[in-house]
Amino acid sequence: MNNEYIIFDTHAHYDDEAFDEDREEVFKEIKENGVIGILNCASSYKSLKTTDELTKNNDFIYGALGIHPENANEYSNEVRKEIIEFINNNKKILAIGEIGLDYYWDENPPKEVQKQVFREQMKLASELKLPVVIHDRDAHGDTLEILKEFKEVKGIVHCFSGSVEFAKECVKLGYYIGVTGVVTFKNAKKIVDVVREIPIEKLLVETDCPYMAPVPNRGKRNKSDYIRHIIEQIAEIKELTPKEVNTVVNDNFNNLIRNGK
């Protein structure tokens, strides 16, 4: 048993098929290893329901509901109504997400479609007074432009992959920077620079599990108790103790949720 840390994973996908065979065992194990909470983030239409169910069946799991840019074609007015209905009937849905832009894959929906769906969901977050979980891959300029259109909305730029300058712009708008296991990779200069330059009061820790496992588990299926490696790496970069980092990042998430509603 490792209760050295009190871990809140601010971005996970436990409804992913990677956990279908042993989900309950994983939950038992991570709880024994200090995980007290998880924000499970929907991405597809199907995952709206599976995320909602996970929050209802597990006391330590909370949810974010939204349509990921890769699935932007699934968004419609009907889906919007369904998201609102889920939120009205479940106090454990804390955010709209994950939403945003992904220009990495050529087969993704066209950029204009992604931008329209992103704006629609930002509008929804504004109406519901909820924070957002932002996905931004190879789309920093357009992401920032849309964030600036909705200055009243706050949230997390998850799995942050941009420059220090971009991070500072996001922080100025009231966003937190989501740090994944990438910060532990040998070639991870960008995110290391961001962690060094951005105040710890604006950082959050996340797995994006089952993806992005940190060293020493790189390449394996990720899970929330591995966040301890991220905490330790941030502590090293910031010249703080892991316990100090752990306390501050948990406070940061609480602040976002309290003030985002």
pLDDT tens figures, 197-215: 999 999 999 999 999 999 9
Instruction: Name the token pair of 246.
Output: 């752990």
| pLDDT tens digit at each of 261 positions of the chain | 456 899 999 999 999 999 999 999 999 999 999 999 999 999 999 999 999 999 999 999 999 999 999 999 999 999 999 999 999 999 999 999 999 999 999 999 999 999 999 999 999 999 999 999 999 999 999 999 999 999 999 999 999 999 999 999 999 999 999 999 999 999 999 999 999 999 999 999 999 999 999 999 999 999 999 999 999 999 999 999 999 999 999 999 999 998 753
pLDDT tens figures, 123-136: 999 999 999 999 99
CA dist 233 and 245 (Å) reads: 10
